């Protein structure tokens, strides 16, 4: 038993926990929002040498940062980095992944102009749900602290799949929440 059992973790930690539970060596995973590559590297580690990660971002900067990070960790060959919107996922991911991971919002440490957008996010989540294996799942970290994040959160409420939101009730601070979605 871990001492950490009763500590409330934030949405990103919860998503990571689910990934650790579900991903096995040799699996295929998708990182729908590469950013600085933190999640891409984490997924690469979990799928191991025989697995593969497809990662998306619309900013070249994100691909560069992620490539450097993977290179440094000796895992560059485990990932395909794609400069395209995650809503085009169907065109780029040739196999059915076990998981698709979204971390919405903007690139940490860059201009806040390029944020994920509700309309494309919803198309991407739909594509992700079609693509994932029947026993797989989709995780979405949503940030209702900004306007577009609030819209994304509202849109995700209407999904036709089994979706569970885990969020702090400290509404005033609007902390990120995790939405975990499985196929019905
Ligand atoms: N997971 C990252 C953080 C992601 S931040 C990390 O661990 O560091 C969200 C990212 O989504 C930004 O880099 C932004 O450029 C990207 N983004 C915005 N719109 C997108 C789209 N339509 N498809 C894919 N990525 C998008």
pLDDT digits (tens, 9 = 90+) for 35-69: 999 999 999 999 999 999 999 999 999 999 999 99
Q: Residue 103 C-alpha to ligand 1 middle, in angstroms? A: 7
Q: Residue 124 C-alpha to ligand 1 middle, in angstroms? A: 12
Name all contacts of 135-138 with Cβ < 8 Å and 24+ positions apart: 135/98, 136/22, 136/96, 136/97, 136/98, 136/99, 136/100, 136/182, 136/183, 137/18, 137/22, 137/99, 137/180, 137/181, 137/182, 137/183, 138/99, 138/100, 138/101, 138/102, 138/180, 138/181, 138/182
**Is the pTM here over 0.75, yes or no?**
yes
Residue 1: band (very low, low, confident or very high) from pLDDT cuts 50, 70, 90: very low
Task: Give pLDDT tens digits for 36-45.
Answer: 999 999 999 9
Is residue 66 lining ligand 1, measured as CB closer than 6 Å?
Answer: no
Q: Residue 59 C-alpha to ligand 1 middle, in angstroms? A: 8
Q: Are strands 79-83 and 162-166 parallel, antiparallel or unpaired?
A: unpaired
Is residue 110 lining ligand 1, measured as CB closer than 6 Å?
Answer: no
Task: Give pLDDT tens digits for 155-165.
Answer: 876 665 777 88
């Amino acid at each position: 038993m871990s001492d950490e059992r009763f500590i409330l973790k934030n949405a990103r930690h919860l998503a990571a926990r689910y990934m650790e539970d579900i991903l096995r060596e040799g699996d295929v995973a998708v990182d729908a929002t590469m950013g600085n590559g933190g999640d891409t590297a984490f997924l690469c580690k979990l799928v191991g040498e025989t697995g593969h990660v497809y990662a998306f971002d619309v900013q070249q900067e994100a691909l560069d940062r992620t490539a450097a990070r993977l290179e440094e960790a000796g895992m560059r060959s485990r990932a395909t980095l794609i400069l395209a919107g995650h809503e085009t996922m169907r065109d780029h991911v040739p196999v059915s992944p076990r998981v698709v991971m979204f971390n919405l919002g903007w690139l940490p440490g860059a201009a806040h102009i390029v944020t994920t957008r509700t309309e494309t996010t919803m198309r991407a989540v739909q594509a992700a749900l079609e693509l994932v294996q029947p026993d797989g799942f989709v995780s979405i970290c949503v940030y209702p602290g900004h306007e577009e994040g609030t819209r994304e959160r509202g849109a995700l409420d209407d999904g036709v799949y089994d979706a569970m939101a885990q969020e702090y009730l400290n509404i005033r601070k609007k902390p990120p929440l995790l939405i975990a979605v499985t196929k019905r």
